[in-house]
Structure formats: C-alpha cells, structure tokens
Amino acid sequence: MSFSDRLQRAWYQGHPALRLLAPLELLYRRVVEAKRRRFLEGASEAYRAPVPVIVVGNITVGGTGKTPLILWLIEHCRARGLRVGVVSRGYGASPPSLPWRVRPEQSAQQSGDEPLLIVQRTGVPLMIDPDRPRAVRRLLESEPLDLILCDDGLQHYRLARDLELVLIDSVRGLGNGRCLPAGPLREPAARLDTVDAVLLNGAHADSADGYAFALQPSALVELRSGERWPLDHFPPGQQLHAVAGIGNPQRFFATLEALHWRPIPHAFADHAAYAPEQLNFSPELPLVMTEKDAVKCRAFAPSGWSYLQVQASPSATFVAWFDGQLARLLPDHS
C-alpha cells in the first residue's frame, strides 16, 4: 500500500498520528480562508466571462463522480439548445503550449485523461490550462458558446462563477472533517453552506445534505473495436481482473460486484500512466477497467479488454432545480 493510500485510509478511518499534522492543517486553513476572503471582498480580481460559468468541483481529495456529472451536464444543456464549452486544468497533461484545445485523436499524455475522455465521449469544445480565465478567453475566441462548464476549479478564485455544484461521496462523506494534510478537505466544511448545490454520489434519496446522485452502469465497451456489450455479456459469478486508476477505486470494484461478477481488484494511483507489462495479470481472465483508464490503454490493448461505461443519474428534484437555474442565467434560451 502506497503512502497516499495509507494517508487516505487514515483520513476516513481514523489514526492518532494525524494529530501531529494539526499545525500544518492550521497553516493550510489560514491560506485557503484568506484566499477566499480576498475573492469575496473583491481584493483579488476575478475574470468574469461574458457567458455564464458553472463550476463543478469538490471540497474533498479523491474521486466523487465529477467527470460523469460533467458529461450529464453537457448532454442536458445541449438538449435544451445550448452551445456548451468546457475548461479544465488538465491534470497530468503535457501539451506543447497553453491554452490547449483537446481533440479526440490526441493522447492522454498530451491532453490529460479526464479531458480526453470528455471530448471523445461528447465532442465538446474543451480547453485545458491551469490558468482557467485564460482557457475561457481562448475557448470563447474559438467558439460561439452560451455556457461554460469548469471541470473542477472550485478553489480557483481567479475565475468568477455563476453556479457552484459540489459532489460528495455519500459513503465516505467528509472523512474526519479536517483540512489537508490532516484530513481530506480542500476547504473547511463550512464552505458547503455557500455553494449552490451539493450532490451526494451514491445516495438513494434527496436529503437536507444534498441531492441524490447515482452512477448507473450502461454497457461494457471493447477497447480495440469500440463494440458495446450488454451488461450480461459476462455471466453471474464471472471472475475478472478489474483495473482502476481513479480517486476512489473501491467504488468501481463494488460496482462490478453489484453486477454479480467476481473482480480481482488492481488499484492504481489516480491518473496513473500505464505500460502494457503492468496489466499482464495471472491467471488469464477477462479484464475490465474504468473509462478513464481506457483512454490511456486503448493504443496497446489486446482484443477482449473492455471498460465499464457509466451514466450519471441525478435526482428529478435536482434536474428541476438546475433547469430553473438555466432559465435564470439564460432567459433568452428558456
């Protein structure tokens, strides 16, 4: 188990040694709170785009289902006649220049795994740049758009926003409720009181804490051919190798178990770069990975490897609320 894995386990399951990190946590909190205070007071100049900006982010470290929600938002807004663009930091990307327009034929090494996944799935105009205001400007110069979705960036206060949507894993919650490095929080928990909507990934019903949000498996997709297989492609009880290089790999393994398969888990670091020999497992069994991993493995995948495609399913109450926000932000399109 890596140091990162042990630290995350301590955040969510508890460990007395975390008390030693209290001074660093206090320093971290002061920095992030001062940063937000400057934004709210207008002392830190933020770029305001000429179109509405919706930030999709989280206050915890690790996966919460942010990319599937972005995909849902793209399709939902398009179905209402809106021209949507996306900006992203492009974590792990090494583009020749910045800002960088992500194209479906590019590599994950160049464009980042999550941005490439989004573009390959939807064809949406997407620009990566750690400087998100610069990414928004370049995107608007290249495309006529009605709306910008900011993939992550909740704490990137140089970009003004019209809506903040935050995802939380309903099982793991906020862990020990402490900020980095003593806990998983990027900002104090009170920050949730200021966002526009909280979505609870894995919750079965809306609650006072947020809207219910689920990830529903839709198909297996063969990496080499793109052929879609139904979810009964493997019989119940099928043993298979399960590969997940995401923020919360256990959720992926649990999903495969819920489909009545018997996964042999192979957890990798979030955004891991793969070499073929890393995925040469014994015994020889079917291999299933996440879609985020698939964009990095398609070039060397043998026939028969597949990924599990999932679709976001927010509650009907959230959908109605979000449509009301779109009507408010874009009255000419309602």
CATH number at residue 44: 3.40.50
**Would residue 294 count as lying in a domain?**
yes
**Residues 151-180: pLDDT tens digits?**
999 999 999 999 999 999 999 999 999 999
d(C-alpha 264, C-alpha 255), whole Å: 13
In a domain, 70, yes or no: yes
Per-residue pLDDT, 4: 75
Please write the tens of the pLDDT for every residue from 95-137.
999 999 999 999 999 999 999 999 999 999 999 999 999 999 9
Residues 153 and 242 in one domain: no
Determine the pLDDT at residue 1: 60
| Cβ-contact 10, 17 below 8 angstroms | yes
Cα gap 104→99, rounded to integer Å: 16
Q: Is residue 6 part of a domain?
A: no
Please indicate, yes or no, whether residues 118 and 161 belong to a single structural domain of this protein: yes
* pLDDT at residue 27, as a whole number: 97
pTM, whole model, 2 decimals? 0.95
Pair (151, 201) in one structural domain? yes
pLDDT at 204 over 70: yes
Residue type, 59: I
Q: What is the structure's pLDDT at 5?
A: 75
Both 172 and 118 in a single domain?
yes
Structural domain contains residue 159: yes
Regarding whether 328 and 265 lie in a shared domain, the answer is: no
Residue 207 and residue 65 share a domain: yes
- pLDDT tens digits along 30-57: 999 999 999 888 877 899 999 999 999 9
Do 141 and 274 lie in one domain? The reply is no
Q: Does a structural domain hold residue 3?
A: no
Looking at the structure of the chain, the number of domains it has is: 2
Secondary structure in 3-state letters for the chain:
CCHHHHHHHHHHHCCHHHHHHHHHHHHHHHHHHHHHHHHHHCCCCCECCCCCEEEEECCECCCCCHHHHHHHHHHHHHHCCCCEEEEECCCCCCCCCCCEECCCCCCHHHHCHHHHHHHHHHCCCEEECCCHHHHHHHHHHHCCCCEEEEECCCCCCCECCCEEEEEEECCCCCCCCCECCCCCECCCHHHHHHCCEEEEECCCCCECCEEEEEEEEEEEEECCCCCEECCCCCCCCCEEEEEECCCCHHHHHHHHHHCCCEEEEEECCCCCCCCHHHHCCCCCCCEEEEHHHHHHHCCCCCCCCEEEEEEEEECHHHHHHHHHHHHHHCHHHC
Q: What pLDDT was estimated at residue 3?
A: 74
The whole domain housing 26 covers: 11-212+314-333
Question: Is residue 85 in some structural domain?
Answer: yes
pLDDT band at 12 (very low <50, low <70, confident <90, very high): very high
Question: What's the chain's average pLDDT?
Answer: 95
Is the domain of 106 the same as that of 229?
A: no
Inside any domain, residue 223: yes
Residues 243 and 272 in one domain: yes
Q: Express each pLDDT in 245-264 by its tens digit.
A: 998 899 999 999 999 999 99
Shared domain for 221 and 117, answered yes or no, is no
